[in-house]
Amino acid sequence: MRKLVLLSTLLVAFLLTTSVVGCQGQPTQAPPTATTAPSSTSSLTLKISGKVGQELTLSGDDLAAYEQVEVTTELKDETVTFTGVRINDLLSAAGAEGETLSLVADDGYTGEVKLADIADCDECIVAIEEDMLRAVLPGQPTKVWVKNLVELRVD
């Protein structure tokens, strides 16, 4: 009986060893390294609408073609650096004329800020993150720092 248990144990060990060795065939490609910018932003879209000379619908790749700026600011007691497009550049391209800017998220959440406050803010950007757009508005309450941003509406 002892020999049978020993033989069974050796057989199981042999089978496990060969299955592990068999799985170590060709090396697989290394996983991609983490980046702060998306490799393709084509799935992101931002609409600029309302009181504008020309409504715009910009893809993530369109946004990436604008001058990119870095903004380092405080967010929830942490110093964070964001990269993105100045909101003023986007509003200028659309010919914005209004008093209020509504920042609309994909779930319908809307933050509002005076257009004059944005005009005076060179650090107010639409940050391009890995899978979303985010409004970064230093000097404004964080409730208007809309995540999953899909629209800038001028009223």
For residue range 76-110, what is the model confidence (pLDDT) as tens digits? 889 999 999 999 999 999 999 999 999 999 999 99
Name the DSSP letter for residue 8. H
Q: Assess whether pLDDT exceeds 60 at residue 136.
A: yes
Say how far apart CA 37 and CA 84 lie, in whole Å: 10
Amino acid at position 71, single letter: V
CB 84 within 8 A of CB 58: no
Say how far apart CA 148 and CA 110 lie, in whole Å: 11
| pTM of this structure | 0.73
Report helix, strand or coil for 26.
coil
Report helix, strand or coil for 95.
coil
Report helix, strand or coil for 69.
strand
The model's confidence at residue 153, banded by pLDDT at 50, 70 and 90, is very high
Structural domains of the chain in order of their starting residue, each with its CATH number: 45-154 (3.90.420.10)
Strand order in the sheet with 133-136: 69-75, 78-86, 125-128, 133-136
pLDDT at 35: 32
Q: Which residues, in sequence order, are CB contacts of 104 under 8 Å at separation 6+?
A: 110, 146, 149, 150, 151, 152, 153
pLDDT at 41: 58
For residue range 15-32, what is the model confidence (pLDDT) as tens digits? 444 444 444 444 434 333
What are the C-alpha distances in Å from 10 to residues 2, 3, 42, 45, 124? 12, 10, 55, 60, 68
Amino acid at position 148, single letter: N
Q: Give the percent of the chain with pLDDT over 70.
A: 73
Which of 16-20, 60-64, 128-132 shows the lowest mean pLDDT across its residues? Answer: 16-20
Q: Assess whether pLDDT exceeds 50 at residue 33.
A: no
